[in-house]
Amino acid sequence: MAKAKDLFRQNFIEYASYVIKDRAIPDIEDGLKPVQRRILHTMIEMDDGRFNKVANVVGSTMHYHPHGDASIYTALVNLANCDLFIDKQGNYGNFMTGDGPAAARYIECRLLPFAKKVLYNPEITEYVESYDGRSKEPVVFPAKIPVVLIQGTEGIAVGMSTKILPHNALEVIDAQIAAIKGEEFHLYPDFPGGGFMDVSDYQDGLGSVLVRAKLDTSNAKKIIIEELPYGVDSEKMIHSIEDAIKKGRLKIQSVNDFTADKVNIEISLAKGTYTKDIVDALYAYTLCEQKISVNCLVIRDKLPHVCTVSDVIRYHADHILEVSKKELEVERGHLFDKLHTRTLERIFIEERIYKRIEQKKTQEAVVSAVKTGFIPYQDQLVREVTDEDVDRLLKIPIRRISLFDIEKNNQEIDQINANIKQVDYDLTHLDEYSIRTLTSIKADLDAETHKRKTVVADFNMIDVRDVAKRDNDLKYDAMTGYLGINIKTGNTMMKVSEFDKILIVQKDGTYYCTNVSDKLFVGKEVVYVGLADKESLEDIVFTVIYLDRKTKVTYIKRCKLSGFIMNKPYELLPDPENNSLKKLSILPNAEVTVTYKGPSRVKETTFLFSDYLVKGAKAGGVTITKKEIASIRIKPCKLVENEKKTATESLSDATEDEEQGEDMELEEVKAPEAEAAKTEPKKARKPSDDDMPGLFDDV
């Protein structure tokens, strides 16, 4: 068993590592996943300036990619739609309408020169064998710019995922130049579809952004969607609008999609509805507003690494210095080879060294004669003469020797020396050279095509609860025990929205908070139903009169209910098994008259709610009387100023008794009974048990 566990563990680790490094997560150096890198490598090999069928490119890429043509085709289309490295011809789909691309045999593509300028340099690229050992493929391209930020990417691996939003190419290059100079920079996403974006929580690529559609609201009866949020097409947008209409959240007469080369979704409003009244609801209930969470996870030094956008820019600011140094060293080597060749040719022809081989009869003698001829001119040579140099000299045609132009050769040598001097200068001024390279790359990008499309703005996400209307009747049927907004029978308790939360108190003193639902079984012994609105509950004091069945002592308890965990039951009575709920009221103050049973010198007692302190929900009650009670009558009355002050001051002493729970975000809605209690009755009358709105009779 232990060996099996070890085997499974090892195999899973290898599988997870493969998925993370070789499939789902891009490398920070060239910003590409393996399939994308293999596609570009294949296109570099096939590049002849002409278009190739995508089907041909997919087939050739399968020499390097072992996961089938479907994944290659999808990756190629996505890569081409970034409009950075691949020139496309044919139907590659439309991100605005959601239409898919044509089949691989119908569309064509070719590599843009920009791709080679940014990615390709085989002399400084490390290559490894492909999966079948028949070919060589690059480990990673020596990219000069942070491609991962420009194109954006997302992927799901084992235990981790990445989502990097696309950024503006011109701004990314400017940020990279600023990083090389040691200057500050700020970089925010930019989407091909435009729209608006709030980056207040972007956190440099580790937080989230809010994106909104661009709406034309100039017409009071018509709204036109002109730009879509990132990741939303017109089909998804219309579906979300129609769904909101079916649920009664939006009053819209019709929705028409005229999207072609530009987004144009026309929303005609219903009679009595105007643009200013529906815009917020459109953001809240449809895909016109979206929150996108981001996570910048890349492969760095062969390991997954979470980094910020600024980290990626600074990495590439250092990386382009390394790439520039390697390229300059390679170029310097080529220049010295060229200088050596030109010097050998000049001496070989000018000093007639070729004459030494006329009488030689063997290859060894010829090579030796040529090498010996260069001995007097050793100080003019860049390096020693090799057999390859001799072989190249011997292949010079007689016609070229006879027409050899010494002046032209000397000019070429002077130019080579000047180039070597410039390379040496650049090697000692890598910052300056790298900035020139980036400026040249930026110049190759069309300013109009790559201009910023998304507007950075400040706005808060619209909460559906803020725009939801309380126009649903919440009914409770005591005969069946059901509570909800889709119940035909029973009594209407209040008006609610589908996003409200409600507080339910049972006859046994149990209470809990739950969401409004279409139909919910709550039992036949519900004694209170109210909105569980945080602000409203802060103003509501629950007064409970209960009886201890063992001692026959009657208690009163005043408390506030807050800090709920959704759907978790709480106890309002200190000892639910022995206590019996007699009265429940949410009146701010009332006059209570208690009448006793049997012969007694004192037949009744009168007191006010405000005579008792407001305590925590878990606190015990205060004794009213130890005598057996015949009836309790409650008469509403005003809460005078000194009583308000006393009640308020008592809260600070009672907070430590309150049960701690998960906080809820609640809406501000006054309970109908609380509103009624704020006004004094116009005409006094004899108090009775019916004087309590929201109160219940003796158990």
Block residue for tokens 């390279």: 437
CA–CA dist 317, 89 (Å, integer): 34
Quote the radius of gyration of the chain (alpha carbons, Å): 41
Dihedral of CA 345/346/349/351: which sign? negative
From 263, 127, 249, select the one nearest 195 (Cα to Cα): 263
Which two three-digit tokens encode residue 665?
């975000």
Which two three-digit tokens encode residue 178?
């600023």
The DSSP output letter for 354 is: G
Helix axes 309-350, 387-394, angle to 10 degrees: 60
Block residue for tokens 């000049």: 346
Pairing of strands 604-608, 590-596: antiparallel
- 106 is known as an active-site residue: yes
Residue 261 region, left (φ>0) first, then alpha (ψ -120 to 50), else beta? alpha
Tell me how crowded residue 361 is: count the other CB atoms within 10 A of its CB. 7
Which two three-digit tokens encode residue 479?
């005969």
Residue 225 region, left (φ>0) first, then alpha (ψ -120 to 50), else beta? beta
CA–CA dist 465, 487 (Å, integer): 22
Type of residue at 92: Y
Which two three-digit tokens encode residue 436?
């020139």
CB 234 within 8 A of CB 228: yes
CB 279 within 8 A of CB 267: no
The partner residues of 545 in beta bridges, in order of sequence, read: 556, 583
Burial of 232 per CB tally in 10 Å (0-12, 13-18, 19+): buried
Element (H, E) at 211: strand 208-212
What are φ and ψ of residue 571, in 5° steps? -105, 125
CA–CA dist 307, 221 (Å, integer): 47
CB 18 within 8 A of CB 299: no
Pairing of strands 554-559, 622-625: antiparallel
What are φ and ψ of residue 610, in 5° steps? -70, -10
The catalytic residue among 15, 106, 127, 425 is 106
CA–CA dist 337, 316 (Å, integer): 31
Alpha-carbon dihedral 616, 618, 620, 622, rounded to 10 degrees: 30
Q: For the chain, what percentages of helix, strand and coil (3-state, to nearest 5) are there?
A: 40, 25, 40
Separation in Å, CA 11 to CA 6, 7, 8, 16, 187 = 9, 6, 5, 9, 41
Type of residue at 637: C
The catalytic residues are 106
